[in-house]
């Protein structure tokens, strides 16, 4: 699976487009008959349907019925367009009031919201966001998700690191889920069908006395999940462990705060 990254385009032009600021200097060429929003919407539809490899400026131009060179008068290239697409997804994420819920419930909901985003738009999980452009969608998302850690006594650095830790887990889980689905789709076989076809051969070549632990544990897991890998179980199990780990950090922060003398 190829890796794409945000922030790979012209930073100044990307920020102008994200915040819908006019480009500096006089604009050349005919009057524009499309909008950046329409271009971004068409690009998202294309990526949803066919993936990021299919996302080219030519294909997007065809989708909105303009000449490819005309598209460049709106967006400089695919790198900037990808940043606009991600920011649109972030802007459209739900942000209900969860202030009355526990921090664990709020964090669980943040994880679910991001997983839903990757389920609806699998290509988004392929984009590395180590240097994300600070668009309005991302800033609103970051502000909202940080509040999931209110009342935890975490300091600002811990809060940021905790959110990053959570989102990294969700992204990794989403990519594993997408890979599992791609394997099943490309092989045209379900897990049960694959094991039924290959089980007899594996039974002949596996020496259970040589790999006793692997055979015992693998058999138990396979029987429990009906497959060698169950994305849903992996996500739920992993999220519980993430919450457990954050719980230790929150307990330490609260203990630290309780020990701090107050004026």
Pairing status of strand 127-128 against strand 4-5: parallel
At 139 the pLDDT is 98
Q: Which pTM does this prediction carry? A: 0.90
CA 92 to chain centroid, in Å, comes to: 14
Q: What is the mean pLDDT of residues 18-42?
A: 80
What SS3 state is found at 127? strand
pLDDT range class, residue 1, cuts 50, 70, 90: very low
At 32 the pLDDT is 67
All domains of the chain in start order, with CATH: 4-90 (1.10.10.60), 96-259 (1.10.357.10)
Residues 6+ apart with CB under 8 A from 120: 48
In order of 48, 93, 261, the CA distances from 42 in angstroms are 10, 18, 57
Tokens representing 41 are 């919407």
The CA angle 152-158-161, to the nearest 5 degrees, is 120
Q: Strands (DSSP E) along the chain, which ranges? A: 4-5, 127-128
* pLDDT tens digits, one per residue of 66-91: 999 999 999 999 999 999 999 999 99
Residues 6+ apart with CB under 8 A from 126: 1, 2, 3, 4, 52, 175
The pLDDT of residue 26 is above 60? no
Query: What letters, b where the CB count within 10 A reaches 16 and e where it falls short, cover 29-59?
Result: eeeeebebeebbebbbebbeeeebeebebee
Find out whether 161 and 38 touch, Cβ atoms under 8 Å: no
* pLDDT tens digits, one per residue of 103-143: 999 999 999 999 999 999 999 999 999 888 899 999 999 99
């Amino acid at each position: 699976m190829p890796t794409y990254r945000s922030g790979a385009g012209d930073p100044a032009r990307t920020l102008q487009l994200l915040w819908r600021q006019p480009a500096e200097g006089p604009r050349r060429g005919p009057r524009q008959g499309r909008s950046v929003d329409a271009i971004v919407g068409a690009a998202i539809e294309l990526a949803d349907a066919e993936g990021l490899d299919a996302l080219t400026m030519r294909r997007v131009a065809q989708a909105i019925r303009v000449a490819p060179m005309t598209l460049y008068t709106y967006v400089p290239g695919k790198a900037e367009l990808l940043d606009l697409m991600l920011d649109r997804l972030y802007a459209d994420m739900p942000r209900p009031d969860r202030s009355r819920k526990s921090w664990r419930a709020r964090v669980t909901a943040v994880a679910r919201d991001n997983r839903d985003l990757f389920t609806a738009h699998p290509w988004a999980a392929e984009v590395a966001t180590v240097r994300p452009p600070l668009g309005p969608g991302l800033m609103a998302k970051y502000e909202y998700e940080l509040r999931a850690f209110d009342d935890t006594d975490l300091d600002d650095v811990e809060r940021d690191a905790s959110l990053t830790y959570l989102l990294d887990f969700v992204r990794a889980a989403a990519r594993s889920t997408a890979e599992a689905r791609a394997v099943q789709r490309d092989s045209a076989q379900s897990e049960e069908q694959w094991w039924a076809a290959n089980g007899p051969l594996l039974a002949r070549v596996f020496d259970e006395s040589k790999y006793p632990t692997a055979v015992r544990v693998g058999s138990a897991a396979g029987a429990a999940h009906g497959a060698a890998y169950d994305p849903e179980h992996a996500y739920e199990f992993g999220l519980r462990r993430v919450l457990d780990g954050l719980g230790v950090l929150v307990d330490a922060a609260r203990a630290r705060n309780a020990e701090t003398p107050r004026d």
